[in-house]
């Protein structure tokens, strides 16, 4: 499959790690992008499909570490300015007290689940960086492994579908939305 130039980097091993890091950071927002890249790369690289979830998880953990660090920096007081009270209350109940089960399940939740908000809150509430990263690492490994295995089964049909003009146009649109959303996130972060 001949890839368009704008997808060459995203569908590389380094692109997978970078997208994983950006996906769980506070400055980037593009739901399902990382999942799509995991599926596509697993389908394209069937002989090393097992490596794709490992690299995606490593990238996601790198981004998560920065989000947790942001939470440690803003502290519990700063959370009230960053998150609505309703969401903050729910996150405090689930993350508070070191409940690892909620943190393992968090990466498995579909969008629009506020995973980044959970990570920032975990940092602000002092849940412990190593503890949080271990728990969400398990969740990410499960999520990406399931996606990778599904790509082995349905990958060939998916690759044919992805080669269509419609999918290319949608990808361009989503990249534009991601850039706009990222700029908005950066501006909001800088203002606060």
* Cα 80 from Cα 175, distance rounded (Å): 31
Q: Are 25 and 116 in contact (CB under 8 A)?
A: yes
0.95 exceeded by pTM: no
Residue in the structure block whose two tokens are 């490992």 = 54
Q: Is 70 exposed, middle or buried (0-12, 13-18, 19+ CB in 10 A)?
A: buried
Instruction: For residue 148, count other CB atoms closer than 10 A to its CB.
Output: 24
30-39, 58-67, 89-98, 116-125: segment of lowest average pLDDT: 89-98
Q: Are 104 and 122 in contact (CB under 8 A)?
A: no
Find which of 10-14, 84-88, 118-122, 159-163 is predicted with most confidence, using mean pLDDT: 118-122
Residue in the structure block whose two tokens are 């509430």 = 125
Q: Are 93 and 42 in contact (CB under 8 A)?
A: no
The DSSP secondary-structure symbol of 1 reads: -
Give 5's pLDDT tier (boundaries 50, 70, 90).
low
């Amino acid at each position: 499959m001949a890839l368009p130039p704008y997808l060459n980097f995203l569908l590389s091993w380094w692109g997978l790690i970078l997208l994983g890091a950006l996906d769980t950071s506070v400055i980037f927002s593009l739901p399902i992008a990382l999942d799509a890249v995991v599926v596509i790369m697993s389908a394209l690289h069937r002989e090393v499909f097992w490596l794709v979830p490992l690299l995606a998880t490593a990238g996601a953990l790198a981004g998560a570490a920065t989000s947790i660090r942001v939470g440690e920096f803003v502290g519990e007081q700063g959370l009230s300015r960053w998150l609505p009270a309703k969401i903050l209350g729910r996150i405090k109940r689930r993350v508070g007290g070191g409940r690892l089960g909620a943190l393992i399940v968090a990466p498995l939740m579909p969008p629009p689940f506020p995973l980044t908000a959970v990570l920032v809150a975990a940092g602000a509430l002092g849940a412990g960086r190593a503890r949080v990263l271990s728990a969400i690492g398990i969740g990410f490994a499960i999520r990406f492994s399931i996606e990778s295995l599904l790509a082995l089964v349905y990958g060939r049909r998916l690759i044919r579908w992805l080669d269509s003009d419609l999918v290319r146009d949608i990808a361009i649109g989503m990249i534009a939305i991601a850039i706009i959303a990222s700029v908005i996130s950066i501006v909001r972060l800088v203002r606060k």
